[in-house]
Amino acid sequence: MADLTLEIVTPERRVATLQADEVRAPGVLGGFGIRKDHTPFMSQLQSGRLTVVDGAREVHYAIGGGFLQVADNKVMVLADSAEEREEIDVERAKRAFAEATERLRSLAEGDENHPVEAARVRRATARLEVAGR
């Protein structure tokens, strides 16, 4: 039990250091899970939900991009932002979601701001998902 040590850090602070049996993360090529003795691995992450399973307990974090590294049963998540459920400002996320969706709709597919707004939508979605609406 609790075979992995997980560290979540953002540029501004260390968010959490915890023990886990399994970590599920939103990779850019799709979600993936990590368990004991995973091969050394490094992946870019997109905005989404990071789930930490420890025994029967599951903790969720809304993360806004970054990357993850596993080696020797140590998982390091270097995220641009990371919030636990209680820390999320739901009102703000809702507003951000509405605004970004609106702007995204008005932009053409090839517009240079398109990916920026799309990333905003994803970030807000991740927050709302973790907060459970």
Taking CB under 8 A as the rule, which mask of x and - marks residues 74-93 in contact with another protein?
--x-x---------------
Helices (H), the chain: 90-106, 114-131
Residue 113 binds another protein, judged by CB under 8 A: no
**132 binding another protein? (CB under 8 A):** no
Measured in degrees and rounded to the nearest 5, phi and psi for residue 26 equal -85, 90
First to last CA, the chain: 32
Question: Should residue 116 be labelled a site residue for another protein when binding is judged by CB under 8 A?
Answer: no
Q: Report the C-alpha dihedral over residues 33, 36, 41, 46, rounded to 10 degrees.
A: 30
For the record, the structure tokens of 99 come out as 């605004």
| Shortest CB 125 distance to another protein, Å | 21
Other Cβ atoms closer than 10 A to 120: 20
- Shorter beta-carbon distance to another protein: residue 44 or 55: 44
Q: Which of 21, 27, 53, 119 binds another protein (CB under 8 A)?
A: 27
The one among 2, 42, 90, 116 contacting another protein by CB under 8 A = 42
Q: Which C-beta is closer to another protein: that of 69 or that of 101?
A: 69
Binding residue for another protein, selected from 1, 29, 56, 108, defined by CB under 8 A: 29
- Tokens at residue 124, please? 């807000």
Distance CA 16, CA 67 (A): 15
Q: Which residues bind another protein (CB under 8 A)?
A: 7, 9-14, 27-29, 32, 39-44, 67, 69, 71, 76, 78
